[in-house]
Structure 1
Amino acid sequence: MRRVRYSHSGGPEVLFLEEAPVPEPGPGELLVRAEAVGVTLPVVRKVREDREPIALGGEIAGEVVAVGEGVTAYTVGDRVTGLTFGHGYADYALLHVAMASPVPGAASAVDAVALVRSGLVAYGALRAARPEPGEAALVTAAASGVGHLALQLARLEGASRVVAAVSDAGKAGFARGLGADAVVTYDAPSWGEPVDYVLDAVGGEVLPRAVGALAPHGRVVAYSSGGGTVAAYDLLVGAKSVIGFQMGLIARGRPETYEKWREELWRSFLTGALKPVVHGTYALEEAGRAHAVIEGRANLGKVVLIP
């Protein structure tokens, strides 16, 4: 089979395609013939920053072609999606059953990778914000694979006003088309009227600005791998809070919640209430191009590899 690897840290240029044996599923694992692979900012950052190369894992969707010992929930021929921690940029990938979920017949593999993992992160971050109907929301990275879903979910949750924060004013039309009432860029002098909660996928220098955008008693949910620092005084004076959210903790520690959220996402998709957008699809040998789109913050929606 083919898979994408890299031998040293760097940009999109360090990715290369190689031949590798098809892996064997171990206990509790599925071997999936990958039909779509989601490209995410955390993986792109790891290629750029990690000293030692890692397996390019992430979101996959496709057909089960073999099952490991002890697997009873899935059989050969089932269509599944989920998160793999091994090699995901490949023709075949191993997926643990705890991270797998079925793909409805009405959905494609591309739909699945655009919706499920990104949607779970967006939905979980929203749940962490404890939104109340009628509150105002702000979503950073609002044109990203996660952010464009978070924007829609905030509206579905009853937000009275949804502000999209983006890196480039050229993304404003895309965000407004998904329901944003207003669009701001990160470097704008003002982000407008205060909001009740912020879903922040950017971190870094954007995080303190997100806190500054809050009304008294407001909440920022930080779910970015970009870090960031907030002064305690800035929280104290407005009784504001910053809440960390990490999807892996939910998947491992609260599987019943994880499953419930997945079902709700599929329900919203199948009724047409939630619309994942795919920026573009790329062949495995074009993985470098896909990473370049993410690095350049040029994507409008999800970037997907098609093995």
Structure 2
Amino acid sequence: MKAVAVQAFGSPEGLAVVDVVDPSPAEGQVLITTEAIGVGGVDAVIRSGALAAYGFSEGHILGGEIAGTVAAVGEGVDPSWIGQRVWAFTGVGGGYAEQAIASAETLIPLAATVSAVDAVTLGSSGAVAHFGLRHARFAPGESVLVRGAAGGIGIMAVQLAVRGGAGAVAVTTSSPERGDRLRKLGATHVLDRTGEGDKDAPTGYDVIIDIVAGTALPSFFAKLNPNGRMVAVGAVAGEPPADFATEMFAAFQKSLSFATFSANTVPVSDRRAVTAELFAAASRGELETVVHEVLPLEQAALAHQKMAAGEVFGRIVLTPSATG
């Protein structure tokens, strides 16, 4: 079968289409014929080689989120899954392929009202946004700032904060055009990447959901209210400086909090339940899935080039058939 692997760490040009042996599901696993494959920020980080020290090597097939049809099941898996359309989480790789393996415990059946493309646009991003807000102890009426709101997680964090009754939802983004689109999704204030640019925006926030991290992260501690909480759910700009907490300690009397959040710390059953509810909410028209573009699997490198250039609003989806 065809798959896309990291042939050389670094730029998107290091991705290549390869022929690999068809996978076979082991105990507790299923084999899925993919219809749609989500392209996420973590894919770009792995591709860059930044996580090589954590066991990722060249030859790795990217992709952690897929939707498609169950083609086979391993030992111990209910055979009634075969033929069902599902969303699945494949872990840290294996999804950029015509067929992929996933643990049966991650499967969520897809209703006819949820397309495969919408499923991989909403699935992981929605779960991270939901549990990230929960990790921040977000409560109705509180003000929220989403730093780096134009990607999949940010777009969902905006919508879920609005849905959860936030008093204000500010976003940082790179252009007025993106800001206008985020306002249509519920953002009440649009800021530039430094967190400035809207004179009517709150002077402080109860919660900051940060997808960016990077060198500018420490400057955002000054934008937290007393007892404010910042939660980093991503690091698309890389790690913060080693002394990033200095700014937080300088404001010791404000009792600020900082935390990282990974969905890996949430029980699979809880993730499945929340993701299924998000799919249902989207079906009811209560959440909007934002697809930047659908590209054929063979153009995975182009998808990563677009991400690296900052062109993407929402999510790029790959599909083996090049159709949505």
TM > 0.5 between the two? Answer: yes
CA contact (8 A) 2:127 2:263 kept: yes
Match of 1:178? Answer: 185
Match of 2:217? Answer: 207
SS in 2 for 1:146: helix
| Greater than 6 Å deviation, 4+ residue runs | none
CA contact (8 A) 2:172 2:195 kept: no
| Mapping of residues 225-236 of structure 1, within 5 Å | 225=235, 226-228=238-240, 229-231=244-246, 232-236=248-252
SS in 2 for 1:287: helix
User: How far is 1:136 from its partner?
Assistant: 0.8
Letter in 1 for 2:106: M
- TM-score between both structures, scaled by the size of structure 2: 0.89
- TM-score between both structures, scaled by the size of structure 1: 0.94
Q: 2:74 aligns with which of 68, 75, 82?
A: 68
User: Does 1:158 pair with 2:128?
Assistant: no
| Mapping of residues 26-65 of structure 1, within 5 Å | 26-50=26-50, 51=52, 52-53=57-58, 54-65=60-71
Q: Give ranges in structure 2 of 5+ residues lacking alignment.
A: none
CA distance in 2, matches of 1:255, 1:29: 14
CA distance in 1, matches of 2:176, 2:219: 18
CA distance in 2, matches of 1:97, 1:129: 30
User: Does 1:79 pair with 2:85?
Assistant: yes
Q: 2:305 aligns with which of 273, 280, 292?
A: 292
Match of 1:223? Answer: 233
CA distance in 1, matches of 2:153, 2:90: 18
Match of 1:128? Answer: 135
CA distance in 2, matches of 1:194, 1:288: 40
Q: 1:264 aligns with which of 274, 277, 298?
A: 277
CA distance in 2, matches of 1:121, 1:74: 29
Q: Give ranges in structure 1 of 5+ residues lacking alignment.
A: none
User: Does 1:198 pair with 2:174?
Assistant: no
Give the total of aligned pairs: 304
CA contact (8 A) 2:108 2:276 kept: no
Match of 1:112? Answer: 119
Distance of aligned partners of 1:188 and 1:269 in 2 relative to their CA distance in 1, 3 Å threshold = closer
CA contact (8 A) 1:29 1:94 kept: yes
Match of 1:12? Answer: 12
Distance of aligned partners of 1:274 and 1:164 in 2 relative to their CA distance in 1, 3 Å threshold = same
CA distance in 2, matches of 1:194, 1:158: 17
Match of 2:264? Answer: 248
Letter in 1 for 2:153: V
CA distance in 2, matches of 1:73, 1:156: 38
Match of 1:239? Answer: 255
SS in 1 for 2:152: coil
Letter in 1 for 2:257: S
CA distance in 2, matches of 1:12, 1:203: 21
Match of 1:100? Answer: 107
Match of 1:301? Answer: 314
The more displaced of 157-166 and 42-51 is 42-51
Distance of aligned partners of 1:170 and 1:273 in 2 relative to their CA distance in 1, 3 Å threshold = same
Distance of aligned partners of 1:129 and 1:26 in 2 relative to their CA distance in 1, 3 Å threshold = same
CA contact (8 A) 2:172 2:194 kept: no
Question: 1:232-286 CA distances to partner (integer Å, 9 max, x unpaired)?
Answer: 4145231110122110121xxx233223312331232122111110000110111
Letter in 1 for 2:308: E
Superposed CA RMSD in Å reads 1.7
Letter in 2 for 1:44: A
Question: 1:165-186 CA distances to partner (integer Å, 9 max, x unpaired)?
Answer: 1133441111111111111111
SS in 2 for 1:176: helix
User: How far is 1:189 from its partner?
Assistant: 4.8
Match of 2:288? Answer: 275
% same residue:
35
CA distance in 1, matches of 2:134, 2:275: 13
User: How far is 1:73 from its partner?
Assistant: 7.4
CA distance in 2, matches of 1:261, 1:210: 29
